[in-house]
Structure 1
Amino acid sequence: MRTGRGRAWASIVRRQPVVPWYAGTRVLLLLLALNVLPYFNRGAVTGDVTLYHQWITQSFDHGRFPLDSQKWQYPPGAAAPLLLPHIFPGSYYVLFFLMCLVADIAVFWMLLRTAKRNDAVNPSKAGPWLWTLGIAAIGPMAYGRYDLVVTASAVAALTLTLRSKRSTAVARGVLIGVGAFLKLWPGFFLFGAPKRRNGRLLFGVAAATAAVPTLLLELFFPGVLSFVTNQKSRGIQIESVFATPFVAGKWFGFHRPIANTEYGAYEFTGSGTSLAGKAALLGTVIGFAILLLIRRRAAVRGGFPFPAMLADVGFTAVLVSVATSRVLSPQYLVWLLGVAAVCLTRRETLMRTPAWLVLGATSVTQLIFPLFYHSLRFGQVYPGLILISRNGTLVIAMVLAVRALWRATGPDSVLLPSGVLLGQDGRDGVRLVQDVGTPLDGELGGGGAEDGPEAVVDGVRGPRRGGADRLVERD
């Protein structure tokens, strides 16, 4: 006899046409990864897995990290998912692909569950669909990197909900810290952490979870923090946004050499590339500074409820880091797809357009790498146009995401009782309905209807003591 929960999930599967599409695409991806079905560039799938296995046999099996390899560009926590398939008997490649498949399934399940929790009657299908189509567009390469494991941790951090605000803050902090320990970028979610007690708790737990094991490993394996300084020597990878002028310049005789560097990536070299690298770093600093300012505006004036803030701000922060990075590999899009899909499980998200733009950018990934990668390196026009279109789409998505958060926290934004957020020009119609069933939701508004976002907007319910500062500052 089925339990009540089992019947509920069976009902979700029957009502969600995305489930059979997800199952079909993942079977296809796994068959391509395992070489049961031929893929047009086998090395694109197995290249990184081969490197991981070399690190294991040449370093980890001898009790040390592969610190002598310039390709080791990861936090020390990366050793865990790389070693996990090695623990079990059998082919390392097969077990690695299966590990990534399990992480993929976990993300999909969390998206379905979160959409159902946000709207039990008519859950949003957008998040599961975006994840299904996006990973399929990346192709079997998605199973040849460990980023799916990191993304599963990140999605869990954004979707996990426990009985109390404090326990939810602790659990999410642990998961964010674990993600940062594995590959840094989930730490960007802290831009969206709430203020006051639970915010400090979330931040502190995340920092401790990432820092404590890292420092302990540094004691036993001196040099594991070298990945931080190794990054400063990276050049401009030809797929990155800041490589665009050099890609287009080849069409007009402005040639810059391309070298396969010791970091395992093709990068532009020569005059101008150092300046482009500094511009990329400056772009990251400016983007993060704007996010800090947005956070302050939210604290002072209010704008959107915390559940949307954590996912929406987290997505924007990851998007800023990817679009302004000197390196842009296909697996970076896995990060964006996971966080974007979480945003779309809430109908009131501010990130709907940027999320679908990311999917559009992802759709041409296999054309850039590996299909036309050789042609791109030699300056042919059509792969260059595809790359520029992809990168331009990511930049537009980043600008729209930052703009949406900026307008939502502006002094003239108005949240009507109907749950529609009007922007500074009074024309935007973004639905922002507070989800009172989410434990951390009360962190911004005090938990009750009298403390909700509507109550802090002049002219909606009249003035209240404490002003807009109480929207975020109150415990």
Structure 2
Amino acid sequence: MNEGGLTGERTSAARPPGVPWWATVALTWLVTRWAVLAPALADDEPWNHAETGDIRFYAAWLPVLWQGRFPADDQAWQYPPGAALPMLLPDLLADGDMTRYFHGFVGLVLLTDLAVFLLLVRAGARSGSVLGAWFWTFAIPLLGLICYARIDVPVTALAVAALVAPGPVLGGALIGVGTLVKGWPILLLAGYRRWRGTLTAGLAALAVTGLGALAAWAYLPGAFGFLEQQQERGLEVEAVAAAPLLLTRPLGSPLEVKYRYGSWELVGPHVDTALLVCQLGLVAGGLFLLACWWRACWSPPVLADFALTAVLISMVTSRVLSPQYLIWAAGLAAACLTRRDTSQRPVAALLLACCVLTQVEFPILWDGIFDRGPDVAVVVAVRNALLTWATLWAGVRLWRSTRGGRDLAASRPAADRCSPDSRMTVGTAGHLNPLDA
């Protein structure tokens, strides 16, 4: 077994002779998706569950969106303007019927789930690593039905497509589209080769995002109302910084849980301190990425490895950490695993454990959040501890794998050794964590 407990390249021993690896993983993908979706699709009102509740929000916003404006006066609207598209598309055939809208939305997400799978299969076939496709196949059912009731799988599909794109122009354009939908894909620019690669991908992303944002601002009222809502958000109960406070609630802490700005937040003593920790952690993470960029030599797996590390840092330092955020990490980890020379295999193993614990806390133990239950507080704390460990480990392994010193130079042909033009670059960001958007 290789490091981290993942055994991707040895799967041939478990397959019948003559059966290609992609057929085995494809059958597994079908079975796991049927297991997740069949109970929900058989329900008369499948949108009335905790993990599918956001689809009710999307349906409620449809009349406003079809009028050519955004529901900026609704505190739950926390999305960039491009997010309206995956919300509107399922309604083209639903014609206001909630059951058909639910089925259409789930169908759209399932198609993008399949797109990610096919991208990973293709990338794995080129590089000789089957781990990426297998990882994605199991990560989604470990997170559960919530994956098909949010817009995060389509955004992750854009991110994975950008990471496996044949060049920085297409990759940057896909990053731009993803940023228009949910903000965080902008972090993928971190791992492009400097200078030409970064400038090319960055300009492509800027062109797509800029033109889309400009069109939305000019023609669609309320396009940037989400920014004001984001600024007002507090500390979500599932955030990493909230875990110590959440553990005190079963012991009688005066902390309360209130629904504000589209999520359940902690309100009470020491919340401001936790928010300050988030800000300091984001600054520290940004400085680490900058230092890693400054000393690093670029190599093919760095793009995905750096993207995963950057997104994990943003996740653990964010004041908001919803269950569906694990979809992003799962997609990026799967992209890393399409290469044999990735540095992130043990990190991916930890992320699978985080996916399991995430489904345990939501929706299985979720009611305990309101009842001051100790079980859910412990599960959230353990999940967040593992996620923090995965982030630190990702950073350490990225640092080591991109070392630009004598050992790395000696192991490469002279033409491939680190030079000023082959160093990586990382984009800069403002004070607002991209995950908060």
TM-score under structure 1 normalisation? 0.80
2:36 aligned with 1:29: yes
Query: How many residues are treated as equivalent by the alignment?
Result: 403
Distance 1:323 1:37, change over 3 A: farther
Give the Cα–Cα distance (whole angstroms) in 2 for the partners of residues 113 and 101 of structure 1: 18
- Alignment-derived partner of residue 160 in structure 2: 155
Q: Which residue matches 1:118?
A: 127
Q: Does residue 60 in structure 1 map to residue 24 in structure 2?
A: no
Are the aligned partners of 1:312 and 1:349 in contact in 2 as well (CA < 8 Å)? yes
1:60 Cα deviation from its structure 2 partner: 1.3
Seen in structure 2, the aligned counterparts of structure 1 residues 246 and 214 have a Cα distance that, compared at 3 Å, is: same
Shift of 1:289: 2.4
Q: Secondary structure at the match of 1:259?
A: strand
More displaced 10-residue stretch of structure 1: 360-369 or 373-382:
373-382
| Residues 1:181 and 2:190 aligned together | no
Please give the secondary structure, in 2, of the residue aligned with 1:414: helix
Cα distance per residue 1:209-231 (max 9 Å; x no partner): 11211022112234322222321
Q: Residues 35 and 243 (structure 1 numbering): CA distance in 2 closer, same or farther, change over 3 Å?
A: farther
Please report how far the alpha carbon of residue 16 of structure 1 lies from its aligned counterpart in structure 2 after TM superposition: 4.9
What is the Cα deviation at residue 380 of structure 1? 2.1
Residue in structure 2 matching 1:20, options 2, 5, 27: 27
Q: CA deviation at 1:374?
A: 1.2
State the SS of the aligned residue for 2:89: helix
Counterparts of 1:320-359 in structure 2, within 5 Å, are 320-359=313-352
Q: Does 1:95 align with 2:104?
A: yes
Q: Does 1:264 align with 2:273?
A: no
* Bigger Cα Rg: 1
Matches within 5 A, 1:193-272: 193-261=192-260, 263-272=261-270
AA at the equivalent of 1:239: E
Instruction: Give 2:55's match in structure 1, choosing from 43, 46, 49.
Output: 49
C-alpha distance in 1, partners of 2:22/2:213?
Answer: 44
What does the per-residue CA deviation read over 1:75-129, in whole Å, with 9 as the maximum and x for residues that have no partner?
000011111111224611110000000000000010010011112xxxx221112
- The 3 A distance-change label for structure 1 pair 136 and 38 is farther
| In 1, Cα distance between equivalents of 2:24 and 2:44 | 26
What are the ranges of 5 or more consecutive residues in structure 2 without an aligned counterpart?
Answer: 1-17, 425-437
Per the TM alignment, residue 411 of structure 1 is displaced from its structure 2 partner at its CA by 5.5
SS at match of 2:193: coil
Deviation at 1:138, TM superposition (A): 1.1
How far apart, in 2, do the equivalents of 1:218 and 1:471 lie? 38
Q: Answer whether contact 1:16 1:125 (CA < 8 A) is retained.
A: no
CA distance in 1, matches of 2:382, 2:331: 22
Q: Report 1:361-372 matches (<5 A).
A: 361-372=354-365
Identity %: 36
Give ranges in structure 1 of 5+ residues lacking alignment.
1-10, 162-167, 420-448, 457-467
- The 1:82–1:254 alpha-carbon spacing in structure 2 relative to 1, beyond 3 Å, is same
Indicate if the aligned counterparts of 1:312 and 1:350 stay in contact, CA closer than 8 A. yes
Of structures 1 and 2, the one with the larger relative CO (CA 8 A, separation 6+) is 2
Query: Could you list the per-position Cα deviations for residues 369-398 of structure 1 after superposition, in whole angstroms to 9, with x for gaps in the alignment?
Result: 111111133322222211111000000000
Structure 2: which amino acid aligns with 1:218? W
